[in-house]
Chain A
C-alpha cells in the first residue's frame, strides 16, 4: 500500500504511487461492481461486492481516512457482507436469477435514466473547478481516530446518540420481524408417523444418499437397482440449486464394463466347452 499524500496544504497533484494504485484498483472496483450487478447467482454478486468494498477500504486509507478504512473492512466486508451471505443461504438458494426482463420497457427506461444520471454526475463534477485541495494532513495531525473522536463527541454528539438509538431500534425491529410466534403445538414424532401412514406416500424414512462403498457425500444421489439415480435421496435444496453430482452414468459404465468382462470370461469358458462337446449354442 502506498502512503497517501500528507502534504500540509494546497497540493495540486498526488504522488505517482497513489495514481498507479488508483488506476489499478479503480478497474478492480468497477469490475466488482459490474459483477455484483450482473452475476446471476446472488452468492457471486455478494462476493464481487465484497471485493469492491475491500478496494474502497484501500481508497479510504489512501485518502487519509484510516479509521474508516479499517471499519470498512471489519464492519462492512467482515460483518455486513457476511450477513448478506447468510441471508442468501437462507433465502435465495433455490435457483439462479433469470436475467430476462419481464416488465416491458423497464430495461430501456432504466438504461436511459442511468445513463442520463451518470452523465449529469460526471458533468457536475467536471464542472466544479477543483484544481487545488487541502489534504487532511493537518486534520490528522493529532491522529485520525482522535480527530474523529473529538468531532463525534463534541460537534456531532447529538447525531451520534441518535444513531445509537437507531441501531437499537433496528436490532429490536429485526428481531420482531423475524420472530415467529408458534401458535399451535408442534406435532410429535408419533403423530407424524401416523400422518405418514395415513397419507401413504412415503411410509419409510427417505433413502440415504451416496453409493455404497464408493461415495458417501450428501450431494450424490443413491442408485436404484437398475443403476439410475434416485431423486429422493438428496435434499431438495441441492436439487433446486443444481448441485447434485449424479454418478449414475459412471456406475452404469462400471456395470457395463463388468458385464462385458464377465461375458468375455464366460465366452472363453464356453468355447472351451464347445471344443469339448463339439457344436454348441451360439450365444
Chain B
C-alpha cells in the first residue's frame, strides 16, 4: 500500500468536515466539524513528514494542535456567551447584522 492513501483519507475527512460546517446549524457541531477538518489536515501533514523523511510536517501538525486548542477554548467561550444572551446555539439566529 502506498502511504498516499492516507492523503486520500485526509482529503475525504476534510471534505466531510466541510460539508458538516456548511450544513449543520448547531454552532457546537459546526465547531466539531472544524476540528475534524483540522485533524484531517494533521493527518496529511504527518503523512507528508513520512513521505519527505523529516519531522517538519509533524512539527506543523503539533502547532496546529496547539492553535486548535486555543481556538476551541475561545470559540466555545463565545458560544456559551451567545447562548446565554440568546438562548440558542443556532448560527442562523445570530444574524443581527443582516439588513
Determine whether A and B are in direct contact in the complex, meaning some CB atoms lie less than 8 angstroms apart: yes
Write the residues of chain A forming the contact surface with B, with a CB cutoff of 8 angstroms: 9, 12-14, 16, 18-19, 22, 26, 29-30, 33-34, 36-37, 42, 45-46, 49, 52-53, 56, 59-60, 63-65, 67-68, 71-72, 75-76, 79-80, 83-84, 87-88, 90-92, 97-98, 101-103, 106-107, 110-111, 113-114, 117-118, 121-122, 125, 130-131, 133-140, 144, 147-148, 151-152, 155-156, 159-160, 163, 166-167, 169-171, 173-175, 177-178, 180
Q: A33-B17, A151-B55, A177-B74 are in contact. List 10 more A-B contacts (CB 8 A).
A: A12-B2, A34-B16, A37-B23, A42-B26, A60-B43, A68-B58, A75-B65, A92-B28, A160-B63, A177-B77
Q: How far is the CB of A65 from chain B (nearest CB, A)?
A: 5
A144 / chain B contacts, CB cutoff of 8 Å: 55, 58
Q: Are B35's CB and A80's CB within 8 A?
A: yes
Q: Report the tally of A-B residue pairs with Cβ distances under 8 A.
A: 242
A–B complex contacts, Cβ < 8 Å, 7 sampled: A64-B50, A111-B19, A118-B15, A133-B3, A135-B50, A139-B49, A160-B63
Q: Are B22's CB and A106's CB within 8 A?
A: yes
Q: How far is the CB of A82 from chain B (nearest CB, A)?
A: 11
Write the residues of chain B forming the contact surface with A, with a CB cutoff of 8 angstroms: 1-9, 11-20, 22-26, 28-29, 31-33, 35-36, 39, 42-43, 46-47, 49-56, 58-59, 61-63, 65-74, 76-81, 83-84, 89, 92
- In the bound assembly, the distance between CA atoms of A133 and B31 in angstroms comes to 34
Q: In chain B, what residue has the closest Cβ to A136?
A: B50
Known: A76-B39, A102-B92, A177-B74. A63 touches B18 (CB 8 A): no
A169 / chain B contacts, CB cutoff of 8 Å: 70
Q: Are B32's CB and A71's CB within 8 A?
A: no
Q: Are A49's CB and B36's CB within 8 A?
A: yes
- In the bound assembly, the distance between CA atoms of A30 and B3 in angstroms comes to 17
Q: Are A148's CB and B28's CB within 8 A?
A: no
Say what secondary structure dominates the interface of chain A.
helix
Q: Are A92's CB and B67's CB within 8 A?
A: no
Q: How far is the CB of B68 from chain A (nearest CB, A)?
A: 7
- In the bound assembly, the distance between CA atoms of A84 and B74 in angstroms comes to 12
B78 / chain A contacts, CB cutoff of 8 Å: 177
B12 / chain A contacts, CB cutoff of 8 Å: 30, 33, 118
Q: Are A80's CB and B18's CB within 8 A?
A: no
Q: Are A63's CB and B22's CB within 8 A?
A: no
- In the bound assembly, the distance between CA atoms of A200 and B36 in angstroms comes to 51
Q: Are A83's CB and B72's CB within 8 A?
A: yes
Q: Are A87's CB and B29's CB within 8 A?
A: no
Q: How far is the CB of A198 from chain B (nearest CB, A)?
A: 26
Q: Are B1's CB and A18's CB within 8 A?
A: yes
A117 / chain B contacts, CB cutoff of 8 Å: 15, 18
- In the bound assembly, the distance between CA atoms of A42 and B70 in angstroms comes to 21
Known: A103-B92, A148-B55. A163 touches B22 (CB 8 A): no
Q: Are B23's CB and A68's CB within 8 A?
A: no
- In the bound assembly, the distance between CA atoms of A59 and B16 in angstroms comes to 18
- In the bound assembly, the distance between CA atoms of A13 and B89 in angstroms comes to 47
